[in-house]
């Protein structure tokens, strides 16, 4: 059974195939509108979400399938003490594919060990968020026309920001990408990602604290929210939450074709005055999230032997 728990569960060829399929869906939506007729997606969200859950659900509906699930642990039998494993075993009797978000790192991995249907990690604690990464890759590809030969600045909470961890792992497999990691000391990228991904592959990276000093170098700027829900201490969050606020003044030296991404939700780290700048891609990024999740579900269902309602040329 093929699952997607980490961005590294997909080969570069598989990622490129999903991005290509997502672009075909964008260009020819009608051809996919019945592809998942009779199929059911279960969204098991033990932690809050707006984009990820609703884009998964919208994606399955636009593929002609149905959706069931819950949007908080409180409305599931987890409140009675049911384990993630048992919940997954039960739901895999009702659904053809499961998207799971959980505050505990590793919960979707545990689910994949007992599931009878494909599991997609929709975010586990401060660990990984592989479908956000597919969204980010499709956005970079559509905005820049390539997934190689650029400098990306990742800014904000690089310690708890699971989208950053998954994105670094995925982009580290493409050619000639330089990473500039912009964070206060307390919120730097975890050491295992530096040593096991960037240093192990000899990938160029810098760790800096000032956004302004590197702005002119960047082709892509990936802003992130300081993850309040992962802090043990409110005072630390309050001290760090507004470390970076991107505004017009900070963009003064930026490239004219900079792509500004943010997984959202934002709190205060991008001023709304930036939203109308053509370089602000984050709302286009949201739309890409739905198409890439359509492509991922089709790919996983097909890989696991499901019969899809697609014409022969689209099934190839």
Active site residues: 51-52, 80, 101, 129
Residues 6+ apart with CB under 8 A from 167: 7, 132, 133, 136, 137, 154, 222
Q: How far is the CB of 41 from ligand CP (least distance, A)?
A: 15
Q: Is 299 in the site for ligand CP (CB under 6 A)?
A: no
Q: Is 49 in the site for ligand CP (CB under 6 A)?
A: yes
Residues 6+ apart with CB under 8 A from 61: 67
Q: Is 290 in the site for ligand CP (CB under 6 A)?
A: no
- Give the separation between CA 20 and CA 145, rounded to whole angstroms: 12
Q: Of the ranges 30-38, 49-57, 194-202, 291-299, which one interacts with ligand CP (CB under 6 A)? A: 49-57
Q: Compute φ and ψ for 64, nearest 5 degrees.
A: 85, 10
Among 39, 40, 51, 293, binds ligand CP (CB under 6 A): 51
Q: Site residues for ligand CP, window 130-189 (CB under 6 A)?
A: 132
Q: Is 50 in the site for ligand CP (CB under 6 A)?
A: yes
Q: Is 52 in the site for ligand CP (CB under 6 A)?
A: yes
Q: How far is the CB of 132 from ligand CP (least distance, A)?
A: 5
Site mask for ligand CP (CB under 6 A), range 111-130, x = bound: ------------x-------
Q: Site residues for ligand CP, window 244-263 (CB under 6 A)?
A: 263
Q: How far is the CB of 80 from ligand CP (least distance, A)?
A: 26
- Rg of the chain over Cα atoms, rounded to whole angstroms, equals 19
Tell me which DSSP letter residue 194 carries.
Answer: I
Among 209, 265, 278, 307, binds ligand CP (CB under 6 A): 265
Strands in the chain per DSSP E: 40-45, 66-70, 97-102, 119-124, 150-155, 177-182, 205-208, 220-223, 259-261
Q: How far is the CB of 108 from ligand CP (least distance, A)?
A: 14
Q: Is 39 annotated to bind ligand?
A: no
Q: Is 264 in the site for ligand CP (CB under 6 A)?
A: yes
Q: Is 23 annotated to bind ligand?
A: no
Q: Compute φ and ψ for 259, nearest 5 degrees.
A: -110, 120
Q: How far is CA 114 from CA 83, 85, 180, 228, 271, in A?
A: 12, 6, 39, 32, 44
Angle, vertex CA 284, rays to CA 175 and CA 174, nearest 5? 10
Strands 220-223 and 97-102: unpaired
Q: Which residues pair with 170 in a beta bridge?
A: none
Q: Of the ranges 43-51, 89-97, 197-205, 269-277, which one interacts with ligand CP (CB under 6 A)? A: 43-51
Q: Site residues for ligand CP, window 54-73 (CB under 6 A)?
A: none
CB 243 within 8 A of CB 188: no
Q: Is 285 annotated to bind ligand?
A: no
- Please state the residue numbers annotated as binding site for carbamoyl phosphate: 51-52, 101, 129, 132, 264-265
The contact set with ligand CP (CB under 6 A) reads 49-52, 123, 132, 263-265
- Please state the residue numbers annotated as binding site: 51-52, 80, 101, 129, 132, 162, 225, 264-265
């Amino acid at each position: 059974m093929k699952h997607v728990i980490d961005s590294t569960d997909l080969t570069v060829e598989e990622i490129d195939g999903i991005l290509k399929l997502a672009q075909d869906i964008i260009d020819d939506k009608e051809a996919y509108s019945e592809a998942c007729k009779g199929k059911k997606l279960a969204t098991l969200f033990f932690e809050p979400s707006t984009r990820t859950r609703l884009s998964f659900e919208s994606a399955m509906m636009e593929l002609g399938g149905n959706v069931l699930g819950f949007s908080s642990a409180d409305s599931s039998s987890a409140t009675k003490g049911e384990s993630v494993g048992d919940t997954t075993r039960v739901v895999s009797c009702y659904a053809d594919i499961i998207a799971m978000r959980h505050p505990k790192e590793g919960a979707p991995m545990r689910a994949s060990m007992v599931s009878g249907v494909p599991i997609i990690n929709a975010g586990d604690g401060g660990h990984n968020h592989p479908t956000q990464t597919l969204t980010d890759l499709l956005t970079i590809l559509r905005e820049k026309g390539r997934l190689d030969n650029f400098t990306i600045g990742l800014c904000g909470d690089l310690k708890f920001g699971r989208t950053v961890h998954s994105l670094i792992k995925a982009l580290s497999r493409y050619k000639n990408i330089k990473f500039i990691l912009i964070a206060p000391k307390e919120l730097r990228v975890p050491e295992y990602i530096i040593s096991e991904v960037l240093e192990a592959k000899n990938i160029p990276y810098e760790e800096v604290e000032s956004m302004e000093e590197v702005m002119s170098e960047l082709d892509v700027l990936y802003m992130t929210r300081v993850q309040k829900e992962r802090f043990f201490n409110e005072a630390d969050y309050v001290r760090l939450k507004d470390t970076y606020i991107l505004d017009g003044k900070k963009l003064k030296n930026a490239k004219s074709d900079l792509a500004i991404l943010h997984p959202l939700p934002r709190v205060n780290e991008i001023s709304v005055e930036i939203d109308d700048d053509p370089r602000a891609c984050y709302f286009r990024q949201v739309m890409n999230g739905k198409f890439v999740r359509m492509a991922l579900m089709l790919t996983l269902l097909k890989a696991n032997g499901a019969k899809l309602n697609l014409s022969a040329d689209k099934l190839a």
